[in-house]
Amino acid sequence: HAEPWANPGAPLKLLQWLGKEDAPLLFRLRADARQWLWGLQFLRECTPARTRHNIEQIVRLGTYSRATLQQLRRDMGLQYDQRTQGILHFYTSQKEFDAALAPAEQMRALGCERRVVSADEAVRLEPALAAIRPRLAGATYTAED
């Protein structure tokens, strides 16, 4: 997963998630200088330029790690319950789906084949999504992961 939590859409999401115990990123405000310093550093990473830079670094690390793991499995004959069916990120909001298109394009340019797929294709790839098909806006899929 090469999209950093710190991205241009994150500050608004964080505000919407404040006080929600089931938030994807749980943030409890405290009178803690380190927490506020961390928060300011996080916000600094939310600019479009920093997001593009961070995606590049994460893609490089991720593709290197994947290749190294695959080589290690081949060389050592390692067998375990690994899953190699790819990673599907699905979106139930058109706005969120639209926001995923540019990062997916950047990842493809960096050698990570992250395809944009329709809602129907997402259900074909993951049949468990059939029940929410009417709510799906689309998905991105990386078969190699």
Starting at the edge strand that comes first in sequence, how are the strands of the sheet with 87-91 ordered? 87-91, 138-142, 114-117
pTM for the full model? 0.76
* Sign of CA pseudo-dihedral 97, 103, 105, 107: negative
Domain boundaries, the chain: 1-82, 83-145
pLDDT in tens, 90-135: 999 999 999 999 999 999 999 889 999 999 999 999 999 999 999 9
pLDDT of residue 82: 84
Fold of 83-145: D-Amino Acid Oxidase; Chain A, domain 2 (3.30.9)
Q: Compute the distance between CA of residue 90 and CA of residue 67 in angstroms, rounded to an integer.
A: 25
Instruction: Identify the pLDDT of residue 124.
Output: 96
Q: Rg of the chain over CA atoms, in angstroms?
A: 18
Say which amino acid occupies 13: K
Task: Report the C-alpha gap between 53 and 50 in whole angstroms.
Answer: 5
Query: For the chain, what is the mean pLDDT?
Result: 91
Each residue's pLDDT tens digit, 43-64? 999 999 999 999 999 999 999 9
Going by C-alpha positions, the residue among 65, 53, 139 that lies closest to residue 96 is 139
